[in-house]
Amino acid sequence: MNKILEVNNLSKDYNDETGFNVHLLEDISLEVTENSITTILAPAGAGKTSLLKILSGIESLTSGQIKINSENQRVVYIPSKPSSFPWYSVKQNISLVNRDDEKIKSIVEFVGLEGYEDHFPENNSVGFRFRISLARALAAEPDIIILDEPFDKKIKPVTLERLYELLLSLKSKLGITFLLGTSNLSEAILLSDEIYLMQKEPGKIIDSIQISFDNERYVELMSSEKFINYRNKIEELLKNQKEQSLSNITI
pLDDT digits 0-9 by tens, 148-187: 999 988 889 999 999 999 999 999 999 999 999 999 999 9
DSSP labels, 109-139: HHTT-TT-TT--GGGS-HHHHHHHHHHHHHH
Q: What is d(CA 110, CA 94) in angstroms, rounded to the nearest whole number?
A: 13
Q: DSSP class of residue 203? A: B
**Percent of the chain's residues with pLDDT above 70:** 96
Does pLDDT of 124 surpass 80? no
Does pLDDT of 241 surpass 60? yes
Q: DSSP class of residue 245? A: G
CB atoms within 10 A of CB 88: 16
The answer to whether the beta carbons of residues 75 and 137 sit under 8 Å apart is no
| Buried-exposed string 215-225: b where 16+ CB fall within 10 A, e elsewhere | eebeeebeeee
CATH classification number, 3-73+144-246, choose in 3.10.20.90, 2.160.10.10, 3.40.50.2300, 3.40.50.300: 3.40.50.300
Kindly give the pairing relationship between strand 144-148 and strand 178-182. parallel
Q: Domain-by-domain residue ranges, the chain?
A: 3-73+144-246, 81-142
**Cis ω before 202 (30° cut-off from 0):** yes
Does pLDDT of 206 surpass 90? yes
DSSP H or E run through 186: helix 185-191
Of the chain, the end-to-end C-alpha distance in Å amounts to 30
Does pLDDT of 248 surpass 80? no
pTM confidence score: 0.93
Mean local confidence (pLDDT), 122-129: 83
Per-residue pLDDT of 61-112, as tens digits, reads: 999 999 988 778 899 999 998 778 889 999 999 999 999 999 999 999 999 9
